[in-house]
């Protein structure tokens, strides 16, 4: 019965929960709210976000969160392979939209943020990662980008201004803020981006728990067999001694 419940929960997670989470992230990652009239503005992910998503998927494979050889195989039923491939596709586009939600839309800051992400993800390709450390690293990465864009830059370019805008005007004398060319959106855009990133990290966390549970299920029969072998060893030794004494 526990094994049956575990398989049902895993099927529910793979077929329904994770694709729904990643599809929601893919839909909300490009959503912006206009500052003037509150209209919905959907921004397609730039090409650089697809490159960032590819690097991130490679990191997820190296960190053990994605196991292509364990989840897609000719030994599995076709429905299982299709469900896992669909989950990989939704995860890829969710990753691209997660980057899209924290990248400035255009201008110099867009390329500065893109270079920051590219440099970080490329360096991480040559580092050793496990699932827990990778999740912490991604949480810090997206959290830092969120604070920079939706808190600091939003305060800097808000029409009302503020202390940050005055400080920036003093530090950047002779450089017009318009050269950075960052559009302004309504404050609710930041809440949408926060929910999107939280949902994306939650999906990766659920995937990590599923991977750990799968490892536990695999290791339990091995430990059970080892215990049986250890218990049988004294009997084999005793029988061997009795045979020698008879001879």
In the predicted structure, residue 17 carries a pLDDT above the cut 60? yes
State both tokens at 238.
Answer: 């005793």
- CA separation, residue 80 to residues 61, 165, 200, 227 (Å): 19, 53, 23, 33
Compute the average pLDDT of residues 60-74.
Answer: 82
Q: Would you state the torsion angle of the CA atoms of residues 212, 215, 216, 220, taken in this order, to the nearest 10 degrees?
A: 180
Res. 135: pLDDT tops 70? yes
Q: How many residues does the chain have?
A: 247
Q: How is residue 203 written in tokens?
A: 């999906």
Q: Specify the residue for token string 């053990």.
A: 64
Strongest mean pLDDT among 1-5, 68-72, 199-203: 199-203
- Mean pLDDT, the chain, integer: 78
Is residue 29 predicted with pLDDT exceeding 90? yes
In a 3-state reduction of DSSP, which class is residue 157? coil
Is the pLDDT score of 163 beyond 70?
no
Say if residues 28 and 192 touch (Cβ distance below 8 Å): yes
Q: Is the pLDDT of residue 72 over 90?
A: no
Tokens representing 229 are: 């072998």
pTM of the shown model: 0.76
How wide is the angle at C-alpha 138 spanned by C-alphas 95 and 52, nearest 5°? 40
Kindly report, residue by residue over 189-245, the tens digit of the pLDDT: 999 999 999 999 999 999 888 776 554 443 444 444 444 444 455 555 455 555 655
Residues 78-120: tens digit of each pLDDT: 888 888 889 899 999 999 999 999 998 887 888 889 999 999 9
Tell me how many domains the chain contains. Answer: 1
- Give the range of the structural domain holding residue 146, as residue numbers without chain letter: 2-246
Burial 144-167 (b: 16+ CB within 10 A, else e): ebbebbbeebbebbeeeeeebbee
- List pLDDT tens digits, range 138-151: 999 999 999 988 88
Q: Determine the pLDDT at residue 216.
A: 44
Tell me the sheet residues that pair with 185.
Answer: 34
C-alpha span between 29 and 77 (Å, rounded): 33
The CB density around residue 90, as the number of other CB atoms within 10 Å, is 20
């Amino acid at each position: 019965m526990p094994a049956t419940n575990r398989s049902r929960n895993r099927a529910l997670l793979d077929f329904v929960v994770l694709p729904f989470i990643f599809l929601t992230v893919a839909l909300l990652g490009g959503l912006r709210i206009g500052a003037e009239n509150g209209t919905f503005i959907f921004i397609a992910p730039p090409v650089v976000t697809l490159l960032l998503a590819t690097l991130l998927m490679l990191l997820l494979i190296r960190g053990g969160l994605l196991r292509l050889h364990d989840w897609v195989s000719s030994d599995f039923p076709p429905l299982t392979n299709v469900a896992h491939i669909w989950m990989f596709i939704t995860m890829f586009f969710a990753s691209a939209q997660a980057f899209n939600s924290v990248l400035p839309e255009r201008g110099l800051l867009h390329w500065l943020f893109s270079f920051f992400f590219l440099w970080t993800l490329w360096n991480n390709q040559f580092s050793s990662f496990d699932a827990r450390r990778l999740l912490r690293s991604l949480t810090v990465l997206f959290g830092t980008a969120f604070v920079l864009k939706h808190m600091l830059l939003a305060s800097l370019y808000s029409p009302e201004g503020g202390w940050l805008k005055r400080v920036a005007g003093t530090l950047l004398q002779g450089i017009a803020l318009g050269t950075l060319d960052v559009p302004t959106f309504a404050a609710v855009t930041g809440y949408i981006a926060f929910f999107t990133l939280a949902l994306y990290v939650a999906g990766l966390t659920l995937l990590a728990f599923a991977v750990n549970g799968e490892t536990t299920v695999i290791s339990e029969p091995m430990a059970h067999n080892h215990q049986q072998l250890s218990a049988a060893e004294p009997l084999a030794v005793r029988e061997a001694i009795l045979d020698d004494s008879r001879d």
